Amino acid sequence: MSDIIQLLPDHVANQIAAGEVVQRPASVVKELLENAIDAGATNIKLLLKDAGKTLIQVIDNGKGMSTTDARLCFERHATSKIRSAQDLFNLHTKGFRGEALASIAAIAHVELKTKTEEDELGNHIKIEGSKIGSQDFAATPTGTSIAVKNLFYNIPARRNFLKSDAVETRHIIDEFQRVALAHPEISFLLHHNGNEVYHLQSDNLRKRIVSIFGAKMNEKLVPIDEQTDILSMVGFVTKHEYSKKKRGEQFFFVNDRFIKSAYLNHAVVAAFDGLLEQGSHPSYFLYLTVPTKSIDINIHPTKTEIKFDNEKDLYAIIRATIKHSLGQYNVAPVLDFNRDSNLDTPYDYSKKALASAPKIAVDPNFNPFVKQEQKRVHIPVKQEQDWEVLYANLEPSKTEQQEELFENESKRDTGKTFQIQKKYVLSSIKSGIVLIHQSLAHQRILYEEFLEAITVKEANSQQLLFPVKINFSSAEIEMIYTIKSDLENAGFVFDEFTKESITIAGIPTSITESQISQVMEQLLEDINLEIPDASFSHFDIMAKSFAKTLAIKTGKYLSEKEQETLVHDLFSCKEPNVAPNGKATFKTLTLHELDSLFTS
């Protein structure tokens, strides 16, 4: 039998490794930014074109590379970070595997310019698909500039799996924010298609957070500071009244490396026990410093998950520290068992002037041993016509009577509708009954209406008497800007874009002024969920998002007329069976199925 096992060629092995290291443009951004930080850079520029699909360029003022290092850095497992396996448990750098540049070079056109401070001339290398095209000396500043062009040019299948520019840009900004938050002492600049998204100066941690997420963030932050033998923790959490329905700004850094940990996240949420509404999530920026020997970073290709030796201890410290800070800054109530509440001055009397001393009146004729006649209390008798007023509130209101299901037998006629638990609408049909989920059904109705208004009809706008200004982070504004033309086709009219806010002068006729902020926030969240692109660009995502935001919710009472309208509009839809999210809008039970429920 002939041998069938053989070694893979280097370029094939590099492409396989690239599948683990580089999932999308954001993966390249992460690796290049971390390399710049490891090189000791104090100023880093990130330039993007077409959400990184056309160009990702990182320019730093780090120590640069020699001629040999510049060539060797594109080889697999070539690294300056470790020398032995023991070094894996004493890491102080971002990268260490030596796979990043080799993987990137295997699936893109890469151009490297680098120079050390000692050299007069630097090196200029061009690589295409792991093959070095040229290497020359060049005049270049001290540091490194690496440009990655035409990502996945030789793997079209991977390129086709990339999402829209808005989604890919969002992922890149996420990675940029994580690196920038981990290193406030470094200046960062981010340009996308020639537009400046971020210009972050070297600053302290609080100012770095505010410069990324906007000036409004400053008033929300509660400082955290704790030093123990096994953990040093600094950072901020946001006040509970600023919690969000979605998981927003939640950042854990361990030894200046961003990580994800559901276990430690639970410790933070537990510290807010009794303060958060159901389904709300706090924001936090927490920086943990632990001994390098107590963690294992090398358990995940992206290095965002690490293993702790003493997770339970960390959980207890994090929870207790945050709880203490919330109480210290009067965010959470603090119990003082030594305080006598009876001595508290009522608010109404705290600023009143002292009155004159009360006069003491004595009745000299009072004799406690003499029986006194009990005074008769006169109770006025209500007039007969007034007695009905006493029972007015005891009768059920008309609304409450309507909400009682199946109370009146005469209502059980064919075609009648009933609302159940303010969540479902029950309607009878010839073959049995149909049970409709009121929120999902309304989402289907609104979705088709929005989609038709956006794509088929000319969208109508209503001008606002006073333009509405809404604050967003720079990343969110960049995302809105990328879909600006689509939003305008939907009926939005934008007056002004700044780095921290947008001003809206007109809105679609189906949206009210009070719903603008809610609609925009939900749209940004839906884009972040990586909904696949539809044939009509972002129109499908927008229609789904608008429908989800504006649809009637579970718990809303519907009048009989509203129930009938919902049923009629649902079955007038092109696809009444499913909601925009793919869930069923209604279920039917035939007479035979109903009969079978009562047969033994």
Q: To 5 degrees, how large is the angle CA 485–CA 490–CA 494?
A: 55
DSSP class of 313: H
Identify the band that residue 384 occupies on the pLDDT scale cut at 50, 70 and 90.
very low
Helix, coil or strand: residue 566: helix
Same domain? For 509 and 485 the reply is yes
> Is 361 within a domain?
no
pLDDT of amino acid 321:
92
Domain count, the chain: 3
User: How many angstroms separate the CA atoms of 93 and 101, rounded?
Assistant: 16
Instruction: Give the residue numbers spanning the domain of 111.
Output: 10-202
Same domain? For 237 and 181 the reply is no
Average pLDDT over residues 83-87: 48
Residue type, 498: T
- Does the pLDDT at position 385 exceed 80? no
Same domain? For 444 and 484 the reply is yes
Question: CA distances (Å), 285 to each of 70, 205, 467, in order?
Answer: 36, 10, 34
Give the containing element (helix H, strand E) for 289: strand 284-289
- Are the C-beta atoms of residues 129 and 154 closer than 8 Å to each other? yes
- Does the pLDDT at position 351 exceed 50? yes
Q: Among 355, 359, 60, 10, which Cα is nearest to 183's?
A: 60
Entry pTM: 0.64
Residue-wise pLDDT tens digits, 28-72 = 999 999 989 988 999 999 999 999 999 999 999 999 998 888 888
Q: Copy the structure tokens of residue 320.
A: 């207790």
Domain's final residue, options 145, 177, 202 = 202
- Does the pLDDT at position 19 exceed 70? no
The total number of residues written for the chain in this structure: 600
User: How many angstroms separate the CA atoms of 70 and 62, rounded?
Assistant: 14
- Average confidence score pLDDT of the chain: 79
What stretches of 112-204 show up as alpha helix (H) in DSSP?
A: 156-160, 165-182
User: How many angstroms separate the CA atoms of 58 and 28, rounded?
Assistant: 10
pLDDT of amino acid 404:
42
Identify the band that residue 343 occupies on the pLDDT scale cut at 50, 70 and 90.
very low
> Is 93 within a domain?
yes
Percentage of the chain modeled with pLDDT above 90: 25
User: How many angstroms separate the CA atoms of 429 and 416, rounded?
Assistant: 9
Identify the band that residue 166 occupies on the pLDDT scale cut at 50, 70 and 90.
confident
- Are the C-beta atoms of residues 287 and 321 closer than 8 Å to each other? no
Q: Among 475, 479, 472, which Cα is nearest to 166's?
A: 479
What's the CATH number where 579 sits? 3.30.1370.100
> Is 487 within a domain?
yes
Same domain? For 560 and 435 the reply is yes
Give the containing element (helix H, strand E) for 454: helix 438-455
- Does the pLDDT at position 337 exceed 90? no
User: How many angstroms separate the CA atoms of 211 and 301, rounded?
Assistant: 30
Domain's final residue, options 171, 202, 233 = 202
Q: Which residues contact 227 (CB under 8 A, 6 or more apart)?
A: 233
Average pLDDT over residues 310-337: 78
Residue-wise pLDDT tens digits, 448-481 = 888 887 776 666 788 888 888 888 887 788 888 8
pLDDT of amino acid 413:
42
pLDDT of amino acid 80:
55
User: How many angstroms separate the CA atoms of 556 and 540, rounded?
Assistant: 27
Q: Copy the structure tokens of residue 577.
A: 């069976």
Question: CA distances (Å), 549 to each of 58, 272, 443, 524, 553, in order?
Answer: 39, 27, 9, 12, 9
pLDDT of amino acid 594:
84
> Is 381 within a domain?
no
Same domain? For 72 and 165 the reply is yes
Helix, coil or strand: residue 440: helix
Same domain? For 72 and 125 the reply is yes
Q: Copy the structure tokens of residue 94.
A: 């971002």
> Is 352 within a domain?
no
pLDDT of amino acid 285:
95
- Does the pLDDT at position 525 exceed 80? no
- Does the pLDDT at position 524 exceed 60? yes
Q: Which residues contact 313 (CB under 8 A, 6 or more apart)?
A: 230, 231
Same domain? For 184 and 240 the reply is no
Same domain? For 478 and 554 the reply is yes
| Residue 365 CA to its chain's centroid (Å) | 79
Q: Which residues contact 592 (CB under 8 A, 6 or more apart)?
A: 432
Average pLDDT over residues 253-279: 86
What's the CATH number where 148 sits? 3.30.565.10
Same domain? For 46 and 158 the reply is yes
> Is 550 within a domain?
yes
- Are the C-beta atoms of residues 83 and 136 closer than 8 Å to each other? no
Same domain? For 133 and 240 the reply is no
User: How many angstroms separate the CA atoms of 3 and 5, rounded?
Assistant: 6
Beta-bridge partner residues of 190: 46, 198
Q: Copy the structure tokens of residue 513.
A: 């002024």
More confident residue, 353 or 568: 568
pLDDT of amino acid 412:
39
Same domain? For 118 and 45 the reply is yes
Domain's final residue, options 307, 328, 349 = 328
Cβ neighbour number for residue 265 with a 10 Å cutoff: 18
- Does the pLDDT at position 8 exceed 80? no
User: How many angstroms separate the CA atoms of 87 and 255, rounded?
Assistant: 16
Cβ neighbour number for residue 179 with a 10 Å cutoff: 23
Q: To 5 degrees, how large is the angle CA 9–CA 160–CA 525?
A: 125
Cβ neighbour number for residue 219 with a 10 Å cutoff: 10
Of 26-40, 84-98, 321-335, 478-492, least confident by mean pLDDT is 84-98
> Is 303 within a domain?
yes
Same domain? For 196 and 277 the reply is no
> Is 242 within a domain?
yes
User: How many angstroms separate the CA atoms of 82 and 98, rounded?
Assistant: 10
pLDDT of amino acid 383:
47
Q: Copy the structure tokens of residue 139.
A: 């005049």
